Structure 1
Amino acid sequence: MNQKSPIDILATALATLGPIGHFPKAPGTWGSLASIIAAPWLFLPLQLGERIAVLIAILAVGTWACSRAEAVFKKKDPGCVIIDELFGQWLTLLFFAAMPLWQLALAFVLFRVFDIFKPWPVKWAENAFPGGLGVMIDDGVAGLYALGCLHLISSFI
């Protein structure tokens, strides 16, 4: 029996956002939903500079955790690894402060669409960078697409 080290336990807990990544169906969608639900309390109240710092920290920790999780689960980008959804979903919200519910819902939908369908360069980014960085960066690119679309749609409504 393979025993995980404390560092591997920490890395996989971070990478899976605790139990959320272990939900039986659509863990990425659950991770995005949890991120959207948490954002009004943990992300949106912050100043822009603080949000950028949070995103940099999530990218750094997520890259490390995803790399460790890939080794522990012996699989490239395992489905249960969803810290990348937190990064991409919060990147979608970067330039917004308080948001009405419809805007949060739209941010969720837009990010999921770009994350699932992976238009260029989302898919390219996933494969262009090694290990955990590739896992994180593709969701970052999907988040940038969603951020642009959310900004455009919100400016017309």
Structure 2
Amino acid sequence: MSSHRPPPVPPRQVFTDPVHFLAFGFGSGLSPKAPGTAGTVAAIPLYLLLSGLPLWGYLLATLVVIVAGIWLCGESSRRLGVHDHPGIVWDEFAGFLVTMIAAPAGWIWVLVGFVLFRIFDVLKPWPIGWVDRRVGGGTGIVVDDLLAGVYALVVLQLLAWWWQVLMATA
């Protein structure tokens, strides 16, 4: 089994090209260790900015992030000549925003959403791993993270419901 990793992208290339800058999550994807985790951390301020919107506004903004991300991730990947370069983390932004749809307010829920999203994004349970291996281009880069976000969203909402029931009976 090969552990081939693509060469790192020079920071200058990321910070001088708007496509790479966004696809690399404002530079967070340059992290030498766990760029996907760094990208998800970088998505938290965007989530916090959007979390004050009404649900329809949050969903619309999330849709814009997803649609833009399909193009950004695909174009950045094409320019680098590497499908789904580890530094491309805009897909983590999209997946995390999906995770946090209608999340309860509070830092604990941001942390729970973060952990759940990272678990599903890393483990890639079916069909996430299947989609990741079979769908190409920007769509393939983003869709597996969207699915991880949906799994995390469901678990987060179940935990929030359980917590609410627990607090109501306490």
Same fold (TM over 0.5): yes
Q: Report the structure number with the largest CA radius of gyration.
A: 2
Query: What is the deviation of 1:122?
Result: 0.9
TM-score where L is the length of structure 1? 0.88
The equivalent residue for 1:27 is 35
- 1:99-146 CA-partner distances (Å, limit 9, x unpaired): 221111110000000000000111122234320111111000000000
Alignment of 1:1-157 (within 5 A): 9-40=17-48, 42-96=49-103, 99-157=105-163
Return 5+ residue gaps in structure 2 as ranges: 1-15, 164-170
TM-score where L is the length of structure 2? 0.82
Write the distance in 2 (CA, Å) between the matches of 1:33 and 1:144.
18
Return 5+ residue gaps in structure 1 as ranges: 1-7
User: Conserved in 2, the CA contact under 8 Å of 1:126 and 1:138?
Assistant: yes
Write the distance in 1 (CA, Å) between the matches of 2:46 and 2:61.
14
Write the distance in 2 (CA, Å) between the matches of 1:106 and 1:67.
29
Write the distance in 1 (CA, Å) between the matches of 2:40 and 2:71.
20
Query: What is the deviation of 1:14?
Result: 1.2
User: Conserved in 2, the CA contact under 8 Å of 1:11 and 1:64?
Assistant: no
User: Conserved in 2, the CA contact under 8 Å of 1:65 and 1:132?
Assistant: yes
Write the distance in 2 (CA, Å) between the matches of 1:12 and 1:37.
19
Aligned AA (1:124): W
Write the distance in 1 (CA, Å) between the matches of 2:68 and 2:45.
21
Q: Which has the higher contact order (CA 8 A, sep 6+)?
A: 1
Which ranges of 4 or more aligned residues in structure 1 deviate by more than 4 Å?
Answer: none
- Count of aligned residue pairs for this structure pair: 148
| Cα-Cα RMSD | 1.5
